[in-house]
Amino acid sequence: MRANGDPDDRVREAFRSIGHHAHAVNLSRAARLADALAVAGGGRLDDAQRKAATDLAHQLVGSAGTFGFPGASQLAGDLERFFADGAFDDPERLAAARTQLGQLQVELAAEPADLPEPAREPGRTEDQE
């Protein structure tokens, strides 16, 4: 068993704390994408809003994947392409984007996938920790 002051324990706790913060930020990003998608569906999304939505989706791609939500990361990538393409007048693509957003929100509401343990020092075994 490791001591409370073990550097690996501190790293894990810091990563968990950062992950919790990132999760809250990602939920907020998804809500903002929902707002942008509603505006896009109404035909009122201007270029600045489209770029902002594309950027939000791009941020979700990296952050969700990094913090244990690979499915959400993939869905955010699909939404990023949707907003970047700007085909808001295509009812099929708009419906698909709405479905993807709903799935993204479900993914983000779930528990994160297991993340790898920090690497051990070369030559160090678990018994030596």
Instruction: Give domain status of residue 128, yes or no.
Output: no
In a domain, 57, yes or no: yes
Residue 65 lies inside a defined structural domain of this protein: yes
| Euclidean distance between CA atoms 21 and 52, whole angstroms | 21
90-to-54, 65, 75, 112 alpha-carbon distances in Å = 17, 29, 19, 33
Per the domain annotation, does 96 fall within a domain? yes
7 falls within a domain: no
Range of the domain at 35: 14-112
* 18 within a domain of the structure (yes/no): yes
Q: Number of folded domains in the chain?
A: 1
Residue 8 lies in a domain: no
8 A C-beta contact, residue 26 and residue 72: yes
For the record, the structure tokens of 62 come out as 């990296």
Q: Considering the entire predicted model, what is its pTM?
A: 0.79
Residue-level pLDDT, tens digit, the chain, 129 residues: 444 678 888 888 888 889 889 999 999 999 999 999 999 988 889 999 999 999 999 999 999 998 889 999 999 999 999 999 988 989 999 999 999 999 999 999 988 876 555 555 565 555 554
The structure tokens listed for 17 are 């704390």
Per-residue pLDDT at 2: 43
Burial string for 8-36 (b: 16+ CB within 10 Å, else e) reads: eeeeeeeeeeebeebbeebeebbeebeeb
Contact 42, 26 (CB under 8 A): no
Position 122 in a domain: no
Structure-derived torsion over alpha carbons of residues 61, 67, 70, 76, reported in degrees to the nearest 10: -20
98: domain CATH number is 1.20.120
